Structure 1
Amino acid sequence: METLHVGRAKLTWLSGGVTHLDGGAMFGVVPKPLWSRKYPHNDKNQIELRTDPILLELDGKKFLIDAGIGNEKMTDKQLRNFGVDEESSVEDSLQQLGYHSREIDGILMTHLHFDHACGLTKWEDENLVPAFENAVIYTSSVEWNEMKNPNLRSRNTYWEENWKPIQDKVRPFEESMEIHEGLHMIHTGGHSAGHSVIKFGDGEDLFIHMADIMPTHAHQNVLWVLAYDDYPVTSVHQKEDWMKYGYNRKAWYTFYHDAYYRALQFNQDGDVVNQVKRQR
């Protein structure tokens, strides 16, 4: 498992599963000859996208950033359509580190689409129960409201089985919230109405988790946004703001979906100066 230390924080990438989605959808209006130079695709035009939660250890607390694809949450048709050939093994990852799911203090949900939220619940006998029994779940109030009341389009990604079993553990916030000293969630919108980014700063050390506003290293260009985005222009403006903010502070940018890089650090010109590669 890959790790990264940023100030007081230790980040470890867990095994949360994998999807394979259409490359055109993941890069929106960007022509294939451009995006395919940045990110590999298979003969079905699909790109590999991890769904790997990040374990964030900070001052004796243990947080997860998003929850993985889960297990036995999809039909055979859904598994085929979303290109899932590996489901979650987050509990095994935690056990390898000497931890248990009950030791997770909080889960920072950037948004609640199925590929981030399926891992919030698990099957116990014939019932779905919280996968992390003692964790508080943080997400924006906008996202939480849409999760419970999806519209005609969003009901395909906001699933009842991912929220009903954990509803008493959710702590929604409005525009921003300091989860722990130096650790913030900030509502951005863009990819979804309630999408949030995560920022941690400790002195001059900083990481920013852009979630699906910049799902992979190939999405660094501020204009390269997803066809899945509900508000793509908002994504562009938010990405532009957060890239400028991070570049000026030599921030690390961490990834949940990237199959090749776990994190990248950029200088003021947007050039990569440090990296954590995924061990394939």
Structure 2
Amino acid sequence: MEQLKVGQVTLTWLNGGVTHLDGGAMFGVVPKPLWSKKYPPNDNNQIELRTDPILVEAGGKRLLIESGIGNGKLTDKQKRNFGVTEESSLDESLAALRLTRDDIDVVIMTHLHFDHACGLTVWEDGRLVPAFPRAAIITSDVEWEEMRAPNIRSRNTYWKENWEPIADQVIPFTKETEVVSGIRLIHTGGHSAGHAIVLIESDREMAIHLGDLLGTHAHQNVLWVMAYDDYPMDSIFAKQRWLSYGIERNAWFTFYHDAYYRAVKWREDGAIAEQVKRNRPSL
């Protein structure tokens, strides 16, 4: 498992499963000859997208950013449509660190689409129960409201199976909240109305998790936004603000979906200055 130190904070990427989604949808109006040079598709025009939660150890607390694709939450048809070739092995990842799901204090959710939220609940004795029974689950109030009352478009990704068992654990926030000292969730909108980002600061070092505003390193161009974004102009404006903010401060940008990089630092000219690559298994 790859790790990154940001001051006194340790980030560890766990194995939350993998999807393969249409590359055209992931890059919106960007022509394939451009995006495919940066993130190659397979023969079905799909690109590999991890769903790997980040374990954050800070201030004596253990936090997760996102929850993975889960286990047994998708039908065979859904697995085929979403290109799921590997489900979550979060328990095994935590066990390798001598931890269990009971050791997680907080789960930070940038948003609650199924590929981020399926791991919030697990099957136990034929019913769905909280995957992290001791954890507070933090998400924006806008996101939480839509999760429970989705519209005609969003009901395809906001599923009751992912929220009903954990409703008592959810702590919604408005605009911004500090989860623990130095770790903030900030509402941005864009990808969804309630989408939020995570800002981590420790000992004058910084990491920014832009969630699905920056799905992969190949989405660095502020205009390269997903067709999945509900409010693409909000995504563009948020990327403009936070990419500039982070680059000026030599921040790490971390990823949940990227199959190649766990984190990167970019120079002002757009080149990668530092990187944490994902250890991809050899074929």
Task: Indicate the TM-score class for this superposition, using the shorter chain for normalisation.
Answer: over 0.9
Q: Unaligned regions of 5+ residues in structure 2, if any?
A: none
What is the identity, as a one-letter code, of the residue corresponding to 2:124? E
Instruction: Provide the rounded CA distance (Å) in 2 between the counterparts of 1:276 and 1:247.
Output: 16
Q: Deviations over 1:16-67 (max 9, x none)?
A: 0000000000000000000000001100000000000000001211000000
Structure 1: which 4+ aligned runs deviate by more than 3 Å? Answer: none
Distance (whole Å) between structure 2 residues aligned to residue 175 and residue 59 of structure 1: 23
Q: Which residue pairs with 1:69 in the alignment?
A: 69
**What is the match of residue 6 of structure 2?**
6
- Counting only pairs closer than 5 Å after superposition, residues 1-280 of structure 1 correspond to structure 2 as 1-280=1-280
Contact 1:204 1:249 in 2 (8 A): no
State the distance in 2 between where 1:204 and 1:274 align: 17
CA-atom RMSD in angstroms: 0.6
CA contact (8 A) 2:59 2:181 kept: no
Measure the CA separation in 1 of the matches of 2:198 and 2:248: 17
* Letter of the 1:263 counterpart: A
Sequence identity (%): 64
TM-score normalised per structure 1 = 0.99
- Which residue identity lines up with residue 165 of structure 1 in the other structure? P
Q: SS of 2:239's equivalent?
A: helix
Q: What is the CA-CA distance between 1:203 and the residue it aligns to?
A: 3.5
- Give 1:267 deviation, angstroms: 2.8
> Deviations 1:81-104 (Å, cap 9, x if unpaired)?
000010001111000110011010
Q: Which amino acid aligns with 2:14?
A: L
What is the TM-score when the length of structure 2 is the normalising length? 0.98
- How far 1:270 sits from its partner (Å)? 3.2
Tell me which amino acid in the other structure corresponds to 2:104: I
Deviation at 1:112, TM superposition (A): 0.1
**Deviation sequence 1:114-142 (CA, Å, 0-9, x none):** 00000000000111000011000000000
TM-fit CA distance, 1:271: 2.5
Contact 1:256–1:262 (8 Å) recurs in 2: yes
Query: What amino acid maps onto 1:150 in structure 2?
Result: P
Of residues 157-166 and 267-276 in structure 1, the stretch that sits farther from structure 2 once superposed is 267-276
Indicate if the aligned counterparts of 1:247 and 1:269 stay in contact, CA closer than 8 A.
no
| SS across alignment from 1:37 | helix
Aligned-partner SS, 2:234 = helix
SS in 2 for 1:20: strand
How far is the alpha carbon of 1:268 from its aligned partner?
3.5
The 8 Å contact of residues 110 and 196 in structure 1, kept in 2 or not, is answered as yes
Aligned with 2:172: secondary structure?
strand
Query: 1:213 Cα deviation (Å)?
Result: 0.2
